[in-house]
Amino acid sequence: MTEDVYWILRLTLKDGQDKVFETLMGEMVAATLKESGAKAYEWHRSGSAVHIYERYGSADDALIHLGHFRSNFASRFTAILEPTGMDVYGAVNDELRKALSAMGAQFYDHVGGFGR
């Protein structure tokens, strides 16, 4: 089993925010790329529905990312995107569970399978 933590964050983009969305997404991708513990950070969109897949090497790496997010992007992010759900997988510690629970996260325990 791996120490990875990963999630899918589901959001709705508010009307008329396409240009702001594109700019903010670009900034967030560039910033997250610099985080050594970030393994995957992929944004997907269908109309106003936005899904973000994030994967980190450990719960500590995920907490570092959340700190950067709060400091640099949270206010602009929440101004244009409305969370609709969050599914979390992997080796979540108590501190990360508390942080993500505040965002309405649903946690899933690993019960089988493998990753390469």
State how far the Cα of 48 lies from the Cα of 87, in Å rounded to an integer.
Answer: 19
Q: pLDDT value at position 34?
A: 98
- Type of residue found at 78: T
- For the chain, the distance separating the N- and C-terminal CA atoms, rounded to the nearest angstrom, is 11
- Residue by residue, pLDDT tens for the chain (116 residues) are 789 999 999 999 999 999 999 999 999 999 999 999 999 999 999 999 999 999 999 999 999 999 999 999 999 999 999 999 999 999 999 999 999 998 899 999 999 998 88
Question: Is the domain covering 5-108 a CATH 3.30.70.100 domain?
Answer: yes
Over the range 17-30, which residues count as b (16 or more CB within 10 Å of their CB) and which as e?
eeeebeebbeebee
State how far the Cα of 71 lies from the Cα of 88, in Å rounded to an integer.
Answer: 22
